[in-house]
Amino acid sequence: MLAKHAQDWAVDVLKILREVLEKAKTLPGFKEILEIQTASRRTPLMYAIISGNFEATKIFIEYGANYKLMTESGSPIIMAIESNSVTMLDYLLTLKDCPSLTQTDLAGLTPMYVACYNSKSDIVKYLLDRPEWVSLLKSRGPFNATIFHALADQDFTELAELIITTIKERENAISILGEIVTTQDESEYGDTALHLAAKEGYTGFLKVCLEVLPNKKEIVEKCLNEAGETMIQVAEEENHEEAILYLQSLLGIQPANGIGYYCVTF
């Protein structure tokens, strides 16, 4: 019943919700009632958060709902990110002993990784403005993937650009960025985020990431995936001509007699 109320947010339902909780709070096992999970492994509090209802969220927490709970579906923090509610996330983080933003959930996901994977730009900007932004930037996901793996996999070029634009003037930010985009994941091929982009032919993504790096030529030339391939080689395997031309241009290689024929300029 609580989960049902948590998905319908008319003012009268909020009133009913408070009345139900007030009457039920003296019942044996009330705490357990608050933590009942649906088949999707979500509690009433989680439903309130992911639906973006701030008032219902506060009511559940007022009556003792566990905002630290983690299930196979995530956590209240993760739900706030999925709802793209900065207000909700900021509120949860003010609560006593709220889980750290660098803590993984039961699926091995961190808040920043979830925000990037789901392209929640408002949340990403909020997280980058926090004191622990470096740790959040280095967040990992499944197969030890970085947030830039998540961005490259779905060609979220605009979000990658937003991140880079936000941090590029900060101390050591560009060095950290270079480390992240050249980190191999633990998938079958052990790709970096740049290799993923090259493999899919996402030239815009490659440009956004590489143009700010002072050692971009060295990266294109020497950065390898687990299979020992460069970005150019993986782009060639998939016949992504635009990506090939861009990457080769960073090495000083220009097309001579049309696509597929190159010469090196010195």
Same domain, 19 and 69: yes
Mean pLDDT of 212-238: 97
Q: Of 70, 99, 128, which residue constitutes the final position of a domain? A: 99
- Cβ proximity of 127 and 93 under 8 Å: no
Q: Are residues 77 and 199 in the same domain?
A: no
Task: Output the pTM of the full model.
Answer: 0.87
Alpha carbon 191 to chain centroid distance? 18
Whether 28 shows a pLDDT value over 70: the answer reads yes
Mean pLDDT of 117-124: 97
CA-CA distance, 117 to 99, in Å (whole number)? 20
Distant-in-sequence, close-in-space partners of 40: CB < 8 Å, separation ≥ 6: 73
Q: How far apart are CA 168 and CA 160, in angstroms?
A: 12
pLDDT band at 207 (very low <50, low <70, confident <90, very high): very high
Contact 190, 225 (CB under 8 A): yes
Question: Tell me, what's the pLDDT at 265?
Answer: 43
Above 80 in pLDDT, residue 73? Answer: yes
Last residue of a domain, one of 99, 117, 144: 99
Q: 215 is in which domain, residue-wise? A: 108-266
Per-residue pLDDT averaged across 57-69, rounded? 95
Domain boundary among the residues 41, 65, 99 is at 99
pLDDT recorded at residue 258: 52
- Spatial separation of the C-alpha atoms in residues 195 and 225, rounded to whole Å: 7
pLDDT value at residue 80 = 95
Q: Which residues of 28-56 are buried (b: 16+ CB within 10 A; e: fewer)?
A: eeeeeebeeeeeeebbbbbbbbbbbbeeb
pLDDT at 257: 56
Cβ–Cβ under 8 Å, residues 43 and 71: yes
Model pLDDT, residue 266: 38
pLDDT number for residue 263: 46
The rounded mean pLDDT for the chain is 91
Look at 26-35, 60-69, 187-196, 255-264 and tell me which has the smallest mean pLDDT. Answer: 255-264
